[in-house]
Structure 1
Amino acid sequence: MLTGLAGLALVAGLAAPARADDTGTTIVTFSVTGAGGLDITVPASANLGSGTAGTTVSGQLGPITVIDQRASLTPNWTTSVTGSDFTTGGGTAEETIPAINVLYWSGPATATAGTGTFTPGQATAGAAVIINVPRTAFSHTGGTGSNFATWNPTVAVAIPPDAVGGTYTGTVTHSVL
């Protein structure tokens, strides 16, 4: 019987509750992902009105918006712009206004959100550029997270003195990287 009590005492000693700590730490994690990518929206079309040979027609294209939802540590982007020749009829030499006659200026931003610096490529008409080759239209540097910018650029087309009558069509292409 003594052996049985000693065994019971030993089991009772091992079964005593352990002492709990006064504090406990739980490591908690979560991810922040970008809601999207880097996107640009542009108007489907724009009409600059009409003009006569030897004059210039100009007008705003409508709002261009870059939305950066990458949630990046370095959300830098640059939008470039380029233009094509404008043609009418069969697009012969007499029916073509070359892209070298097309000027562009972004103007200032009409809306922005997010941190960093938003910089127009050409803030004023005096800084207008010929868009027969890609030019910077707008850019964003610095800051963190997501951002967006909207601007309403102006396009001016110098109509050559020997241009024939007709409705001329060309393209202005914006891209963002």
Structure 2
Amino acid sequence: MVLHKSFSAALAAAALVVAWTVAAPAGAAMAADTTTTFTVSGGALGISAPASKDLGTGAAAGTLTAQLGAVTATDTRGALGASWTASAAATAFTNSTTPAAASITTATYSSGLATGTTGTAIFLPGQTATPAAISAIAVTAYSASVSVGNNSATWNPTVVVSVPVQAIAGDYTGTITHSLS
């Protein structure tokens, strides 16, 4: 009986040693999880265009053709599946030398292909082959759809002003406005 108790005690002690060794091996590290969060903030839509452009000098019954320079539409909203449309509109070109002269209102706008894009979206030019008449009624210059996060597109639009045969000599000024929504 004493032998049986000693054997049982030895067996119980061995079981404790094995259990302790399996449960907490020597040098084992303990772990603690930390749930970590952060926020990615969204921005806004923005558009930039050259402040001024001289289309050059031309004669009555002729045309003036020039590229305006880089126009860039930027979307920093950080959205999934968002879209935007850039538009262009123009005022009449008025003669600042002879204010009584008739304004020139016949102009076209062609966005052409993008000179650069960033991010992921489907970018579409408003015009590639056929220019659009530009006036106070805006035309689509560029658009993006199905965007993933931030993106941008840059293009260098071509403007053609048709000078009527009855145009009075002088300096003409108008404004081409790009907007983004």
Q: Percent identity?
A: 43
Q: Contact (CA 8 Å) 2:79, 2:147: kept in 1 or not?
A: no
Deviations 1:49-107 (A, max 9, x none): 11100011110000000111111123311001101100113532x34112xx0100000
Unaligned runs of 5+ in 2: 1-22, 25-29
Q: Post-superposition shift, 1:25?
A: 4.0
Unaligned runs of 5+ in 1: 1-18
Q: 1:26 aligns with which of 34, 58, 62?
A: 34
Q: 2:72 aligns with which of 65, 74, 79?
A: 65
Corresponding residue number in structure 2 for 1:15: none
Q: How many residues are matched?
A: 152
Deviations 1:16-74 (A, max 9, x none): xxx99x8654322111112x321111000011111100011110000000111111123
Matched residue of 1:74: which SS? strand
2:49 maps to amino acid:
V
Q: 1:66 & 1:129 partners in 2: Cα distance?
A: 19
Q: Contact (CA 8 Å) 1:75, 1:146: kept in 2 or not?
A: no
Q: 2:116 & 2:152 partners in 1: Cα distance?
A: 8
Matched residue of 1:142: which SS? strand
- What RMSD, in angstroms, separates the aligned Cα atoms of the two structures? 1.8
Q: 2:126 aligns with which of 95, 99, 121?
A: 121
Q: Output the TM-score relative to the length of structure 1.
A: 0.80
Query: Highest Rg: 1 or 2?
Result: 2
Matched residue of 1:149: which SS? strand
Deviations 1:129-151 (A, max 9, x none): 11111110000001310001100
Instruction: Note if 1:131 corresponds to 2:139.
Output: no
Report matched runs for 1:81-160 at 5 Å. Answer: 81-88=88-95, 89-92=97-100, 94-98=101-105, 101-124=106-129, 127-132=130-135, 133-160=137-164
Matched residue of 1:71: which SS? coil
1:130 maps to amino acid:
A
Matched residue of 1:76: which SS? strand
Q: Contact (CA 8 Å) 2:61, 2:163: kept in 1 or not?
A: yes
Q: Contact (CA 8 Å) 2:98, 2:170: kept in 1 or not?
A: no
Select between 67-76 and 77-86 the one with higher mean Cα deviation: 67-76
Corresponding residue number in structure 2 for 1:166: 170
Q: 2:83 aligns with which of 76, 79, 90?
A: 76
